């Protein structure tokens, strides 16, 4: 066996883009190149029929974490703490490294998290009411169990922006609660308590550009609301978590997540913030799925997840 590292096809000279264009022009027999072969996606981005090394540009600065740190969440709707805890322990045994509990104000944190090592498992919560009390109980539980501050990871989703998007109304009390929760979470740098969701945009028919733009617009809106309640820009940026949907355009979605990180960096700079941490949670979109074809849905969900991972999301 020849184990040499000789490059394949090294005897062939590289082909320039101009040479490709000349060949394509001959094959088209005078037909318009753009009309025949160039198409636009939902975001009006022109997709060329071929690319080569000459098209390479300096890539966008990657401000996200390495995709190898990906958290794979199991979503659990809490009916009783005991049942939810059993499902959580089972999920961990199956290899899940993240738990997302949908809870209400009456759920007891200690019962819910019994036997779950917060040093190893990322635990997040979706809660709509009595947010301050629940957050206080959770961080108190972490302190009581002497969890090192840097080891506590996850996010709190109070559906701050989601309610406005889906119901058309917003409760100013939510911003008061958010400001309080920021203070409660101050000792835990890796736990994010300001979740901004943009997935509703994509699932309602928005394209990738619109999803990114409207989500970042929601961020600016939230920043101004919290500044008016005594929160500093640094406190806000260090507690940000974003939820975005994943569309079906594989390469465009990869670029979307990377572009989002870059644009977020630009917004932070406008507020005078140069160092901050945030997380991005990606979920497969609803509108791209079929109600009658689960096999196709599995394939679509897989490629969507792959594009998000390559886009360097956190979960």
34 & 79 share domain: no
What CATH number should be reported for the domain holding residue 243? 3.20.20.240
Last residue of a domain, which of 7, 25, 55?
Answer: 55
187 & 39 share domain: no
Number of domains in the chain: 2
Give domain status of residue 269, yes or no.
yes
Q: Are 178 and 213 in contact (CB under 8 A)?
A: no
The parent domain of residue 28 ranges over 17-55
Q: How far is CA 56 from the centre of its chain?
A: 26
76 & 47 share domain: no
Extract the residue ranges of the chain whose pLDDT is less than 50: 63-67
185 & 261 share domain: yes
Give domain status of residue 277, yes or no.
yes
Express each pLDDT in 16-70 by its tens digit.
Answer: 888 888 888 888 887 888 888 888 887 788 888 888 877 776 655 554 444 457 8
Q: Are 212 and 198 in contact (CB under 8 A)?
A: yes
88 & 237 share domain: yes
Give domain status of residue 82, yes or no.
yes
38 & 139 share domain: no
148 & 266 share domain: yes
Express each pLDDT in 217-231 by its tens digit.
Answer: 999 999 999 999 999
133 & 33 share domain: no
Torsional sign, CA 278, 257, 307, 102: positive
71 & 40 share domain: no
Last residue of a domain, which of 55, 85, 102?
Answer: 55
Q: What angle do CA 63, 120, 246 make, to 5 degrees?
A: 45
216 & 114 share domain: yes
Where does the chain have alpha helices with state H? 17-28, 33-37, 81-93, 109-112, 131-144, 162-167, 172-184, 199-203, 208-227, 233-237, 250-270, 294-310
47 & 91 share domain: no
pLDDT recorded at residue 49: 83
111 & 243 share domain: yes
pLDDT recorded at residue 67: 46
- In 3D space, the residue among 276, 259, 262 whose CA is nearest the CA of residue 223 turns out to be 276
Give domain status of residue 234, yes or no.
yes
Give domain status of residue 93, yes or no.
yes
Give domain status of residue 122, yes or no.
yes
Give domain status of residue 161, yes or no.
yes
Give domain status of residue 10, yes or no.
no
């Amino acid at each position: 066996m020849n184990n040499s590292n000789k490059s394949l096809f090294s005897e062939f000279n590289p082909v320039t883009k101009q040479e490709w264009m000349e060949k394509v022009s001959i094959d088209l027999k005078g037909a318009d190149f753009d009309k025949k072969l160039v198409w636009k996606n939902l975001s009006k981005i022109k997709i060329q029929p071929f690319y080569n090394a000459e098209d390479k540009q300096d890539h966008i600065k990657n401000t996200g974490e390495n995709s190898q740190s990906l958290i794979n969440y199991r979503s659990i709707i809490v009916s009783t703490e005991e049942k939810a805890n059993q499902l959580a322990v089972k999920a961990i045994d199956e290899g899940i490294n993240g738990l997302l509990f949908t809870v209400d104000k009456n759920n007891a944190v200690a019962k819910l998290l019994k036997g779950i090592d917060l040093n190893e498992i990322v635990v997040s919560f979706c809660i709509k009411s009595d947010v301050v009390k629940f957050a206080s109980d959770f961080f108190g539980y972490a302190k009581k169990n002497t969890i090192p501050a840097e080891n506590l990871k996850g996010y709190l989703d109070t559906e701050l922006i989601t309610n406005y998007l889906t119901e058309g109304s917003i409760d100013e009390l939510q911003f008061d609660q958010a400001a309080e929760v920021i203070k409660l979470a101050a000792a835990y740098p890796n736990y994010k308590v300001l979740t901004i969701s943009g997935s509703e945009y994509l699932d309602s028919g928005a394209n990738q550009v619109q999803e990114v733009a409207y989500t970042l617009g929601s961020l600016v809106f939230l920043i101004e609301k919290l500044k008016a309640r005594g929160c500093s820009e640094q406190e806000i940026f260090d507690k940000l978590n974003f939820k975005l949907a994943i569309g079906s355009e594989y390469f465009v979605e990869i670029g979307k997540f990377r572009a989002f990180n870059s644009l977020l960096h630009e917004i932070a700079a406008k507020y005078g913030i140069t160092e901050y941490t945030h997380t991005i949670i990606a979920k497969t979109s609803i509108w791209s799925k079929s109600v009658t074809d689960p096999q196709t849905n599995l394939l679509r969900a897989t490629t969507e997840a792959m594009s998000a991972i390559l886009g360097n999301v956190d979960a």
